[in-house]
A and B are shown apart, each in its own frame.
Chain A
Amino acid sequence: MFELLGIPPQALFGQLLLGLINGAFYAMLSLGLAVIFGLLNVINFTHGAQYMMGAFGAWMLLNYLGIPFWGALVLSPLVVAVIGMVIERTLLRRLYHLDHLYGLLLTFGLALIIEGLFRRQYGSSGLPYDNPLPGGTNLGFMFLPNYRGFVVVASLVVCLATWYVIERTKLGSYLRAATERPDLVQAFGIDVPRMITLTYGFGVGLAALAGVLAAPAYQVSPTMGSNLIIIVFAVVVIGGMGSIMGAIVTGFGLGVIEGLTKVFYPEASSTVIFVIMAIVLMVKPAGLFGTAK
């Protein structure tokens, strides 16, 4: 592995960019998780399955209804979000007064059900989804597929917009207030339960959007989410549970770190995030951007 230490700087530059692209997926997924945890206090283990549903949604829209990628980009997250809201209304809602543990276990069970059903229906080896933006640009130091460039930009826009809405707008201030003191906010005449439902739907929608974005790049398969979810958890914990900015910055940052590990010590690239998580939790238990409670 050490002969790679001497790789030329432009190749390193390429790897950094790739890390950023992967970070885009982490950022969108951890953002959704962070929003849900921040407002519902639920650790949404179904997130990976919802990401997978987003990708399958895109596939189904294309193959059953003939709706291309750009339409699926909007429709699939909407559908998954609605399913998410139904889950929130019927199952999750009963658990808010209990320990975090129960929310985690319930969503874990849901993830198993969803994954099992998709495997049953579509098999396990996955389905193809064509790249909507074939071709690429030669940046000099690397060949950047157009689609990957689009993913980074799209995800940055979505992440920043979410951050802006939650931290800088009136709606966001209601949301944040409802997290702290739901009873008070309710007393001001705001429908907190509905707000929570919509927030869950939004978080889930973000996961599904990431799924649609992933469909052309990765294989659309029932296991695509469960392979990712544990890593995304780690990202959220490192960023600080419930911290919006933390999730975004950590998502991109860890993508880059993982990318570099893939060059210097590829065998460890799936573990490096956990090493960082353990260190961060030791030094700063609330996460890099979290506030200690």
Chain B
Amino acid sequence: MRLAAIFLAASCLAGAGAAYAADPIPVKIGVLNDQSSLYADLGGQGSVWAAKKAIEDFGAAAKGLKVDVIFADHQNKADVGTSVARQWYDVDGVDAIVDTPNSGVALAVSGVTKEKNKVFINSGAATSDLTGKACTPNTVHWTYDTWALANGTGKAIVKTGGNTWFFLTADYAFGHALERDTEAVVVANGGKVLGKVRVPLNNADFSSFLLQAQSSKAKIIGLANAGGDTINSIKQAAEYGIVAGGQNLAGLLIFLTDVHSLGLKTAQGLNLTAAWYWDQTDANRKFADEFAKANGGKRPTMVQAGVYSGVLHYLKAVEALKSAKDGAAVVAEMKKIPTDDPLFGKGEVRADGRHIHPMYLYQVKTPAESKGPWDYYTLKATIPANEAFRPLSESDCPLVKKG
């Protein structure tokens, strides 16, 4: 009976004139991110474009994969994020969700993904818990995390003499995590934390806090915040002559779009850690040019580049398995094959789901140094892959068996 059915199906296909030897493997990828507010510029539609570009560059159709991309806005609400994720998995047949900035939403989606045994490739969220205590066999964290940012910026700055710190911390879990991780790095490298102040989220005026930072006489003011909060604190620091007074700012999480929105005049001199910068290699520039053409001249952020690279690697694993249906198996395959793509180079996905690659320390150029729009960063140091991320020995991920 079954055999007959297969023959029937095969003959139907042949009759329809299908050129493929076998049915194409259906794969559906959902880009779930912020399309309308805080993180829309660093991910948003740019991430959707990056996912589609990855499918095109992979040559999915020629390799027998039929890949669809859909997207939705999670509005930075965990309940919206989970309900979209559930609906995608249950009804729309989505096999993998990518991007998803906002740590709260990311953790929620990671939980749903495990429950439904699908794949979650996160590029946009910062929390190192995704590959720490909340790690799952279905989640891969691609681009960066709080540990890597703290480690990169903290270590590099202390080593170059910035050994006294004052933290301006956004008063929520992400800010606390960033502050905690950075403080540990600063202290471990012989630095000292002179003080810290917890600032309510979406606070517009930072002058009071900056004044406190100023009177602490710390050499470095660490900005453990994100988005609009970072932008406003940097802008006002310039106004209050913080940098002119000899203190330096260290932005712990700054995206290319943040620098763009600040303008070089205000942002110059800022140290920051990032996973990817468009003007670093020829391959990056090529990607960025195509991105700019499709997205109104904007350059891609590391999050968007991460989406591209993550999707590419995901498709390789699906191709190897010839199926996208068993999420844990696909992720296991992603961990088995080494990563290699034009944007992030060679690397690996570790047992805890962490994608390992080098991180980079950049400094924002002065207006005089910049040759044109979006020419913003100078590379100051490369943090090699084996130092960039939290070592497995310190991991509290249940998937990692400690010897």
Bitwise interface map of B from 262 to 305 toward A, beta carbon under 8 Å scored 1, else 0: 11011000000000000000000000000000000000000000
Q: In chain B between 228 and 268, which residues have their CB closer than 8 angstroms to a CB of chain A?
A: 228, 231-232, 235-236, 238-241, 245, 257-258, 260-263, 265-266
Contact of B265 with A11 in the complex, beta carbons under 8 Å: no
Q: Mark B302-341, 1 if CB is under 8 A from A, else 0.
A: 0000000000000000000000000000000000000000
Instruction: Check A143 against B203 for contact (C-beta < 8 Å).
Output: no
Bound CA–CA A119/B211 (angstroms): 32
Give chain B nearest CB distance to A258 CB in angstroms. 9
Q: Is the CB of B241 within 8 A of A218?
A: no
A203 within 8 A of B: no
Q: A124-B40, A128-B262 are in contact. Are A218 and B204 (CB under 8 A)?
A: yes
Would you give the shortest CB distance from B167 to chain A, in whole angstroms? 12
Q: B346 within 8 Å of A by Cβ?
A: no
Chain B residues touching A, range: 35 or more
Contact call B205/A218, Cβ cutoff below 8 A = yes
The answer to whether A263 touches B212 (Cβ under 8 A) is yes
Q: Is the CB of B37 within 8 A of A128?
A: no
CB distance from A214 to the nearest CB of B (A): 8
Task: Write the chain B residue with the least CB distance to A138.
Answer: B241
User: Which B residues lie within 8 Å of A271 (CB)?
Assistant: 200
Cβ–Cβ contact B232 & A219, under 8 A: yes
Cα–Cα, bound, A71→B188 (Å): 53
Question: Quick check: A267 and B200 within 8 Å, CB to CB?
Answer: yes
The answer to whether the Cβ of B202 comes within 8 Å of any Cβ in the partner chain is yes
- Residues of chain B with a CB closer than 8 A to A126's CB: 228, 231, 261
A250 contacts across to B, CB distance below 8 A: none
Nearest-neighbour CB distance to chain B for A268, whole angstroms, equals: 8
Asked if B352 is at the interface of the complex by the 8 Å CB criterion, the answer is: no
Evaluate contact between B262 and A142: CB separation under 8 angstroms. Answer: no
Looking at the assembled complex, report how far the CB atom of A232 sits from the nearest CB atom of chain B, in whole angstroms: 12
User: CA–CA, A147 to B236, complex, Å?
Assistant: 11
Q: Tell me the bound Cα distance from A15 to B227 in angstroms.
A: 25
B41: contacting residue among A124, A227, A269, CB under 8 A: A124
Provided the pairs A15-B211, A123-B40 are in contact, do residues A228 and B204 lie with their beta carbons within 8 angstroms?
yes
B193 to chain A: closest CB distance in Å? 13
Cβ of A240 under 8 Å from chain B:
no
Contact of B228 among A21, A145, A223, A263 (CB under 8 A): A223
The A106-138 residues at the B interface (CB cut-off 8 A) are: 116, 119, 123-128, 130-131, 136
Assembly CA distance A46 to B11 (angstroms): 65
Q: Supply 12 further A-B pairs (C-beta < 8 A) apart from A22-B207, A145-B240.
A: A4-B212, A125-B260, A128-B262, A131-B238, A136-B240, A142-B211, A143-B214, A143-B245, A218-B204, A218-B205, A218-B232, A267-B200
Can you report 5 residue pairs joining A to B where beta carbons are below 8 Å apart?
Answer: A119-B36, A125-B227, A128-B266, A219-B228, A228-B204
Q: Hey, which bits of chain A sit against chain B, CB under 8 A? A: 3-4, 7, 11, 14-15, 18-19, 21-22, 116, 119, 123-128, 130-131, 136, 142-143, 145, 147-148, 217-219, 221, 223-224, 227-228, 259, 262-263, 266-271
The 10 lowest CB-CB distance pairs between A and B, nearest first, are: A128-B263, A270-B200, A262-B208, A125-B261, A125-B41, A123-B41, A145-B239, A267-B198, A18-B207, A124-B40
